[in-house]
Amino acid sequence: MESKNIYIQGIVQGVGFRPFVYQKAHQFHLKGFVANTSKGVWISIDGTSDNIQAFIQMIQNDMPEHARIYSIREENTHPTGKNDFSIIDSNQSNNRLASIPPDIATCKNCLTEMNDPDNHRYQYPFINCTHCGPRFTITNDLPFDRSNTSMASFQLCDVCSLEYSNPMDRRFHAQAVACPVCGPSLELVCNNKVIQSANPLEIAIQLLKKGKILAIKGLGGFHLAVDACNDTAVLRLRKLKNRPDKPFAIMSSTIETIQQFALMDDIEINSLTSYQCPIVILKQKHPNALSQSISNPKNIGVMLPCTPLHHLLTNQFLALVMTSGNISEQPIISTNQKSLEILDYADAHLLHNRSIVNPCDDSVVRVIANKPRLIRRSRGYIPAPIDLKKNLPSVLSLGGHLKNTICLANNHHAYLSQYLGDLSNMDTIQWMQQTIDQMIRITGIQPECVACDMHPEYQSSKMAETMSLPINRVQHHHAHIASCLAENGIVAPVIGIVLDGTGYGIDQTIWGGEVLFCENHSFKRIAHLETVLMPGGESAIKFPWKMALSWIVNGFGDNAIDIFNSIQQKIDSDSIKMVKQAIDKQIHSPLTSSIGRLFDAVSSMIIGQVSISYEGQAAIDLENIACDTDHHYQYYFTGKDMTMIHVQPMIREIVTDILSNVKPEMISGKFHTTLIHLFTDLCHHLQSTIDLKHIVLSGGVFQNERLFSGLRRKLMENGFRVSVHSQVPCNDGGLSLGQAYLTNRA
């Protein structure tokens, strides 16, 4: 006879781990108990040595689908003195490691029950079990027990209670277990009046069928929904939400329904059906029955239903538009009251009485080069950590300014927060502050230092200064590369290519087309795009024609205005004159080496955009029209220690092509091919000074599928080793991870 304590850390709570341990303990005739602790799971057992060893093996090899073990430690102990094996109440502890699982999409068993007219939970919108349902979004604190979630206020009925306490039931210790008798319920509010009905869901569906706009409380927050086939409804939503162009995501009930309007390969189907249930960017099939006002004709963001409620709603439609319920760039709305106040233009609000504790936007995935790549890492992925190859101190990093996330890390784990968004508004800043507190509580990581961007005006940088901790200020593009190193477990020196929008450079110019030699915690800028002026500073981002003019002035000097007028007729001469003056006199026009801004300029030259209404729009438009071509434009490099990339020849050729009526599709294709050739050539060129074959790609511009997969492939064909993002966004959503990764022990 032997007695052992076994301590397991990882995602082991809320995923059916204790019931699994219970069943295995019985199988091996072990006595003792299992308990959740704030650190993870604690098992104490008596049994024969062989059985105990077999049991420990089985636990690691056979664990529940959504569980993840980070560490397992065993020690000899005194006999428990128990006559059986049981699950005992969780105890509190001060030392904790986040073990709250991410939210899990409705499982097959629950769906079967929900669709069975004889089942107690027939059509119940909150059905869940040990293997699925809300987790992170409803949890206040560790351990993951009902009393620490927003289910605490729902008293279990006899039926649920029996299931909860029966080790052989599939709801054994399912913390969010609920049924129509004891669990959350729906409520429909129209014109500030609660609609009295036994079936508010049915009325909601009827309203959607009539083309109405509904605010719907989901898992991580509210969506605004309309019938995706109703063009009038979609356009009305665009108008009321003040979102003229940015694509809407849609939700469709099954892979078969999605097949009616989109193309999918197996990897995309796997992403759609994964338990994280993200939005996946797919290629549209044409013709299709969807409103053409949802997205651009090429792509569409689609997700499957992530909760029973969404299953019940979507199975009546080909698809529903499901866009975040928020005011543009502000945090997603997560309370009934705010929905009624702020989304007051919705025709009805479908509410429920289970509160959302940790709001989370939908995550976004795009499959590029045969792998799912996260563009927005939020619901379904948070708070699962990124595993690191390097030991970090306890550090809090505050990210960038747009697409903000924060990160808490120590030892080998980095916990990124959900997507928080744009720190230009007070509500997001407040949400960020709450998230920092919440993440500290659930990870138990007390930061001993803080990391932020070098930009002195970023809200996140200013916040770092108020924290009375040592500050590590990290250059924006260095952080981009480091985030890619972190998720790939790279510690060796690399050459990093960062193609980005804008980030604060160490020479007071705005960087964004950078090649960095990165070693240990430092970097050296070894090449960059030649700089041009960004007339009006930030305003040039909103008005891409200003960047077009800047590049044309740079290339054509005195003829610039004539050339500009010959390719862009939508801008009045006074505005052109004013911007030209700002460029000539360098008034309020910082220098930039940004590739994102080069995309804006080229897009505006070819397509003629005057202004954009969402980040990256000009670049996305440019990518969407690009045809396949091997032809490219000219460029050259100068300099030795610092290589300068000159694309002036390309700009001149583009202007020539436009004036000789070459198709925009071809010009865009040639532009993309040029960048792919250029950066591959550059990597060869740099080998004369730095003999290093390992290239890392990062920065928001790599959301461009053609550039990302084209450059990656070309570099590999040329004998380079290439590391890229998959788990963490290449855009500014990954900055916090990079900042943490570059922070040393104080």
Minimal distance in Å, beta carbon 496 to Fe ion? Answer: 13
Return residues touching Zn ion (CB under 5 A).
Answer: 107, 110, 129, 131-132, 157, 160, 179, 181-182
From the list Fe ion, Zn ion, none, which binds 107 (C-beta under 5 to 8 Å, kind-based)? Zn ion
User: CA-CA distances (angstroms) from residue 39 to 19, 130, 139, 410?
Assistant: 18, 20, 16, 15
Q: Which CB, 103 or 732, lies closer to Fe ion?
A: 732
Region at 444 (left for phi over 0; alpha for psi -120 to 50; beta for the rest):
left
Q: Which CB, 253 or 703, lies closer to Fe ion?
A: 703
Minimal distance in Å, beta carbon 156 to Zn ion? Answer: 6
Minimal distance in Å, beta carbon 108 to Zn ion? Answer: 8
Q: Which CB, 307 or 731, lies closer to Fe ion?
A: 731
From the list Fe ion, Zn ion, none, which binds 181 (C-beta under 5 to 8 Å, kind-based)? Zn ion
Minimal distance in Å, beta carbon 512 to Fe ion? Answer: 7
Minimal distance in Å, beta carbon 171 to Zn ion? Answer: 8
Residue 217: which of 142, 119, 294, 150 has the closest Cα? 150
In DSSP notation, 476-532 reads: HHHHHHHHHHHHHT--S-EEEEEEEEEEE-TTSSEEEEEEEEEETTEEEEEEEEPPE
Q: According to DSSP H, which parts of 153-275 are helical?
A: 158-165, 200-209, 231-241, 255-258, 266-273
Q: According to DSSP H, which parts of 538-697 are helical?
A: 539-542, 544-556, 560-567, 573-584, 595-607, 617-625, 648-659, 664-686
Q: Which CB, 379 or 476, lies closer to Zn ion?
A: 379
From the list Fe ion, Zn ion, none, which binds 40 (C-beta under 5 to 8 Å, kind-based)? none
Minimal distance in Å, beta carbon 511 to Zn ion? Answer: 48
Measured N-to-C along each axis, helices 648-659 and 664-686 cross at an angle, to the nearest 10 degrees, of 170
> How far is it, in rounded angstroms, from Cα 215 to Cα 472?
42
Minimal distance in Å, beta carbon 170 to Zn ion? Answer: 7
From the list Zn ion, Fe ion, none, which binds 129 (C-beta under 5 to 8 Å, kind-based)? Zn ion
Q: Which of 516-554 are b and which e, b meaning 16 or more Cβ less than 10 Å from the residue's Cβ?
A: bbbeeeebebbbbbbbbbbbbeeebbebbbbbbbbbbbb
Q: Which of 194-203 are b and which e, b meaning 16 or more Cβ less than 10 Å from the residue's Cβ?
A: eeeeeebbeb
Q: Which CB, 23 or 109, lies closer to Zn ion?
A: 109
From the list Zn ion, Fe ion, none, which binds 182 (C-beta under 5 to 8 Å, kind-based)? Zn ion
* Sign of the CA dihedral with 305 first, then 310, 315, and 316 last: negative
Q: Which CB, 503 or 616, lies closer to Fe ion?
A: 503
Minimal distance in Å, beta carbon 248 to Fe ion? Answer: 25
Report yes or no: 671 and 607 within 8 Å, Cβ to Cβ.
Answer: no
Measured N-to-C along each axis, helices 595-607 and 544-556 cross at an angle, to the nearest 10 degrees, of 90
Residue 284: which of 262, 314, 303 has the closest Cα? 262
* Residues contacting residue 230 through CB under 8 Å, at least 6 positions apart: 211, 291
Q: How many CA atoms lie within 13 A of 209 on its CB side?
A: 11
Minimal distance in Å, beta carbon 173 to Zn ion? Answer: 13
Q: Which CB, 380 or 447, lies closer to Zn ion?
A: 380
From the list Zn ion, Fe ion, none, which binds 160 (C-beta under 5 to 8 Å, kind-based)? Zn ion
Q: Which CB, 219 or 474, lies closer to Zn ion?
A: 219
From the list Zn ion, Fe ion, none, which binds 500 (C-beta under 5 to 8 Å, kind-based)? Fe ion
The residues with which 374 forms a beta bridge, in sequence order, are: 365
Report yes or no: 399 and 732 within 8 Å, Cβ to Cβ.
Answer: yes
Minimal distance in Å, beta carbon 403 to Fe ion? Answer: 8
Q: Which CB, 705 or 732, lies closer to Fe ion?
A: 732
Minimal distance in Å, beta carbon 165 to Zn ion? Answer: 13
Token pair of 440, please?
């500290």
Residue nearest to Fe ion (CB): 500
Q: According to DSSP H, which parts of 101-144 are helical?
A: 108-114
From the list Zn ion, Fe ion, none, which binds 454 (C-beta under 5 to 8 Å, kind-based)? none
From the list Fe ion, Zn ion, none, which binds 732 (C-beta under 5 to 8 Å, kind-based)? Fe ion
- Beta pairing class for 494-504 and 694-698: parallel
Residue 458, Cβ density class (10 Å: 0-12 exposed, 13-18 middle, ≥19 buried):
buried
**In this structure, how many other beta carbons lie within 10 angstroms of the beta carbon of residue 255?**
14
Minimal distance in Å, beta carbon 343 to Zn ion? Answer: 30
- Beta pairing class for 449-453 and 471-474: parallel
From the list Fe ion, Zn ion, none, which binds 623 (C-beta under 5 to 8 Å, kind-based)? none
Q: Which CB, 393 or 512, lies closer to Fe ion?
A: 512
* Sign of the CA dihedral with 626 first, then 632, 634, and 636 last: positive
Return residues touching Fe ion (CB under 5 A).
Answer: 500, 503, 732
* Residues contacting residue 578 through CB under 8 Å, at least 6 positions apart: none
Q: Which CB, 498 or 655, lies closer to Fe ion?
A: 498
From the list Fe ion, Zn ion, none, which binds 179 (C-beta under 5 to 8 Å, kind-based)? Zn ion
Measured N-to-C along each axis, helices 648-659 and 560-567 cross at an angle, to the nearest 10 degrees, of 50
Q: Which CB, 176 or 414, lies closer to Zn ion?
A: 176
Q: Which CB, 131 or 403, lies closer to Fe ion?
A: 403
Report yes or no: 295 and 284 within 8 Å, Cβ to Cβ.
Answer: yes
Minimal distance in Å, beta carbon 256 to Fe ion? Answer: 39
